[in-house]
Amino acid sequence: MFQPLGFQPSSVNTSLGRMAYYTGSASPWQDNSEKSDRKTLLFLHGFGGGSSAYEWSKVYPAFAAEYRVIAPDLIGWGASDHPPRSYKIEDYLTTIQEFIQQTCTESVMVIASSLTAALIIRVAITHPDLFKSLILVSPSGLSDFGQDYSRSFFAQLASVPVLDRLLYSGGIATDAGIRSFLEQRQFAQSNRIDQEIVDAYLQSAQQPNAEYAALSFVRGDLSFDLSLYIPQLTTPTAIIWGQKSQFTGPEIGRRFAKINPQTMRFFQPLENVGLTPQLELPAVTIGLIRKFLILLNG
């Protein structure tokens, strides 16, 4: 899998298998004089065909000199194990919690995107001691405010046996399928997509058994109404939202922020940006993360 300069792969074992992650444990980020008391930044990727820690790879190296950076591939994605199963919400709530408990010795600052950002809110509600702050990019349960994603045409199509595998192998896990998804669903401007991005997503999408997690996501098995959980969140939070996000627009984020303004302290929309500003405008995303780290953590 793709990894930036100075980052090395490692892994921990969760209840669903081995979870791979990347951390700045090589030159130029670490040497014999490196301090061991650096705070941890945990970067968590979203879901979709070919998702992996690569999603944050243009952002997290910018923090490696100041923080202990960790960027995992979630179970079923990237270089982590891909157990053949129908994935459920609880699978990710549990394995994310287990990962944090095994890799972090104190409360952690998390940067997460889309559905994973919504799942992190739920983990932070049940285990607030694990978290210091949250910076979330377009957090959504995909069935927010009473909407039912599982009834959408694409979700219904992906629920048909045999057809679902054909859809994945022929329409998602190909160079053309990945590029089409990125252009139509993930980026606001297609000229921001280079071949490296396509190749990284394709490599993840073509891992053995990669279709299980992807199809569980597409079917809506992992969707829920995030608005029902936001009132319970106590971890200081900032939200970044691309104005041209194709899955859920920024009006959803504004509604979230109004539910719990004491905790959701900042809401930053980005013009002419889609679902993943961390890939589309990484320099802007880095600047915003730095800003919110200071505002949320002092």
Contact 266, 239 (CB under 8 A): yes
- The pLDDT assigned to 247 comes to 73
158: CATH: 3.40.50.1820
Residue 61 maps to a domain: yes
Residue 2 maps to a domain: no
Question: Read out DSSP for 199-266?
Answer: HHHHHHHTSTTHHHHHHHHHHTTT-B-GGGTGGG--S-EEEEEETT-SSS-HHHHHHHHHH-TTTEEE
171 Cβ partners below 8 Å, 6+ apart? 177
- The pLDDT assigned to 248 comes to 87
Cα–Cα nearest to 110, from 118, 244, 282? 118
Positions of the chain with pLDDT lower than 50, given as ranges: 33
- The pLDDT assigned to 198 comes to 96
Residue 271 maps to a domain: yes
Q: Distance between CA atoms of 217 and 167, rounded to whole angstroms?
A: 13
Phi then psi dihedrals of residue 249, to 5 deg: -80, 170
Tell whether the torsion through CA atoms of 240, 242, 243 and 248 is positive or negative.
Answer: negative
Report pLDDT digits (tens) over 167-219: 788 888 899 999 998 998 899 999 999 999 999 999 999 999 999 999 999 88
Q: Distance between CA atoms of 222 and 142, rounded to whole angstroms?
A: 9
Q: Distance between CA atoms of 94 and 23, rounded to whole angstroms?
A: 22
Domain that holds residue 256: 8-297
Cα–Cα nearest to 226, from 129, 112, 131, 130? 112
Cα–Cα nearest to 235, from 86, 163, 114, 129? 129
- The pLDDT assigned to 158 comes to 61
- The pLDDT assigned to 155 comes to 64
Q: Distance between CA atoms of 19 and 25, rounded to whole angstroms?
A: 17
- The pLDDT assigned to 2 comes to 83
Cα–Cα nearest to 80, from 67, 95, 68? 95
Residue 265 maps to a domain: yes
Q: Which residues pair with 112 in a beta bridge?
A: 44, 136
- State the burial class of residue 106 (Cβ atoms within 10 Å of its Cβ: 0-12, 13-18, 19+): exposed
Residue 3 maps to a domain: no
Q: Write out the H or E segment, with its range, that includes residue 110.
A: strand 108-113
Q: Distance between CA atoms of 83 and 95, rounded to whole angstroms?
A: 13
Residue 62 maps to a domain: yes
Domain count across the chain: 1
